[in-house]
Amino acid sequence: MAYNRYQYETSPRKLKPEYEEIKRRYPKKSSARNTKKEAQAKPKKINQAKAILYVAIGFATLFVISYRYAVIDKTYSNLKEKNTELAAIEKETQQLEANLESDLKLTTIEEEAKEKLGMQKLTAEQKVYVSLPKTDYVETSSEQIEENDKNTNWFMQIINKILEILT
């Protein structure tokens, strides 16, 4: 049984290499790989910044739109309030006009004059007729209009007083 030399459940021994690996103190020449990774990281950051900027612009736009609608709503409510005030004032004006018309009727004025003031209508004996001439005469005033000392300046007033004294 030449074939049964293999021992089961055993692992082979690990052999040590004949030489030792040299440990380098400086990094390997993978700088090209690092620059590629950095170059890929920057666009990723720029894309994130753009996304944040777009979101901020979107929120600002939505805020402006909602603020605009709030202002429109407030203006509309003020308009509605003013319209109700206008309707109330117009109604009051119509009532006052109706009261004024009823008070200005000739019959109500006569009744108040008779009741409150004790007045009566004129009789034929109380009426006096006056005859006026058909022509109308107008007389002009002969007064002279004096110049106003207040309208002249102080220098002209002094000169006028000096001239009055000299003459």
Closest CA relative to residue 111, chosen from 99, 102, 100, 124 = 102
Rounded CA-CA distance 102/105 in Å is 6
Single-letter residue type at 123: T
pLDDT at residue 51 in the model: 92
Find all residues with CB under 8 Å of 113, minimum gap 6, and list them. 119
Q: For the chain, 167 residues long, give each residue's pLDDT as a single digit of tens.
A: 455 665 666 666 667 777 777 776 765 555 555 556 665 666 778 888 899 999 999 999 999 999 999 999 999 999 999 999 999 999 999 999 998 888 888 888 888 888 998 888 888 888 888 887 777 677 666 655 555 545 668 888 888 889 889 87
Model pLDDT, residue 18: 75
- pLDDT score recorded for residue 146: 57
Q: CA 161: distance to chain centroid?
A: 62
Please tell me the predicted confidence (pLDDT) of residue 95: 94
| DSSP state, residue 3 | G
Per-residue confidence (pLDDT) for residue 83, from 0 to 100: 96
Chain-centre distance for alpha carbon 132:
68
